[in-house]
């Protein structure tokens, strides 16, 4: 960050009667949550109402990384940090914990789960470390009195479903329940696609419960697609983000080209629109 920008930020915080750094951020949140002189929107928020923003900010961080925009990444990390501070402040108001407690907890967890770094233990490679990490998590759950000893225990239900699918598959694979290679996974993908096609036909024929069965088969198809990505060591979220970006880029370019030549896409047949799509693809 440029020195002038830092000075300007420090001046702005001083003018508001606030310190700089993390203490300043904590003071900002305390002021925003003040029931008398705070911000009405911030004051009325709860853990549940803020949770969607927390998830959204995490995706904004991932987007900045995908775009290799470090300036934007700095800002998005700040937004994500604000979410942590927001939740910690609400917990502090309830007497549950505060931001310092959050920091202490994660420090303790990182030291505890990395004995090969902080306690003289040894680990062969990243794969072995992952296994040790999961074993440590199981021990911690047992110490808390959690009696769920399934290989799938502890996988958060609040994760995006594609991410939870991959975690379920990894846990099952850890005990040997996995396809030996990509060929049977791709065969299963084709099988699920055929079942989806059959349920579309059933819906069209007006069969009872066909739409419910279609939903189930589409879910199976997506679950296997996530497994394809896992076998290829491809992050499903990153792959889908790039696919979304590619579609948006091509569609916007198609719109612009059609607007110049035909006055826009509206009114063009699908075949005519597809001609523009192919032109954009070839241009890339």
With contact defined as beta carbons under 8 Å apart, do 151 and 175 qualify? Answer: yes
What DSSP character marks residue 125?
Answer: S
State whether residue 33 is helix, strand or coil: coil
Q: Identify the residue whose tokens are 């523009």.
A: 276
Q: What is the pLDDT of residue 1?
A: 52
Instruction: Give 3-111's CATH code, choosing from 1.10.287.1080, 1.10.645.10, 2.40.110.10, 2.60.40.420.
Output: 1.10.287.1080
With contact defined as beta carbons under 8 Å apart, do 166 and 229 qualify? Answer: yes
Q: Which residues of the chain have pLDDT under 50?
A: none
How far apart CA 76 and CA 271 sit, in angstroms, is 41
CATH topology of domain 150-234: Helix Hairpins (1.10.287)
DSSP states of 97-141 as a string? --HHHHHHHHHHHHHHT-HHHHSS---SSHHHHHHHHHHHHHHHH
For the chain, how many residues are written? 284
Q: What is the pLDDT of residue 48?
A: 95
Q: What is the pLDDT of residue 211?
A: 96
Per-residue pLDDT tens over the stretch 25-43: 999 999 999 999 999 999 9
Q: What is the pLDDT of residue 2?
A: 62
Q: What angle do CA 26, 111, 47 make, to 5 degrees?
A: 35
Q: Can you give the pTM of this predicted structure?
A: 0.67
């Amino acid at each position: 960050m440029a020195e002038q920008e830092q000075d300007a930020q420090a001046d702005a915080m001083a003018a508001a009667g606030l310190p700089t750094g993390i203490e300043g951020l904590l003071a900002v949140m305390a002021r925003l949550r003040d029931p008398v002189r705070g911000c009405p929107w911030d004051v009325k928020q709860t853990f549940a109402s803020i949770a969607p923003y927390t998830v959204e900010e995490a995706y904004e961080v991932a987007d900045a990384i995908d775009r290799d925009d470090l300036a934007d990444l700095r800002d998005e990390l700040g937004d994500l940090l604000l979410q942590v501070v927001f939740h910690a402040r609400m917990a502090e108001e309830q007497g549950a914990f505060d931001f310092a407690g959050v920091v202490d907890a994660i420090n303790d967890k990182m030291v505890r789960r990395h004995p090969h770094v902080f306690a003289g233990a040894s680990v062969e490679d990243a794969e072995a470390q992952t296994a040790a990490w999961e074993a440590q998590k199981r021990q911690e759950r047992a110490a808390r009195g959690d009696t769920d000893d399934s290989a799938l225990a502890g996988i958060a239900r609040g994760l995006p479903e594609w991410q939870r699918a991959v975690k379920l598959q990894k846990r099952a694979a850890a005990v040997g329940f996995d396809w030996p290679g990509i060929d049977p996974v791709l065969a299963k993908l084709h099988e699920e696609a055929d079942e989806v096609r059959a349920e579309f036909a059933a819906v069209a024929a007006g069969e009872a419960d066909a739409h419910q069965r279609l939903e189930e088969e589409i879910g199976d198809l997506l679950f296997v697609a996530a497994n394809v990505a896992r076998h290829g060591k491809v992050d499903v979220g990153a792959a889908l983000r790039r696919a979304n970006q590619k579609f948006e880029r091509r569609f916007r370019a198609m719109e612009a080209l059609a607007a110049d030549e035909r006055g826009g896409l509206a009114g063009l047949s699908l075949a005519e629109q597809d001609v523009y799509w192919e032109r954009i693809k070839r241009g890339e």
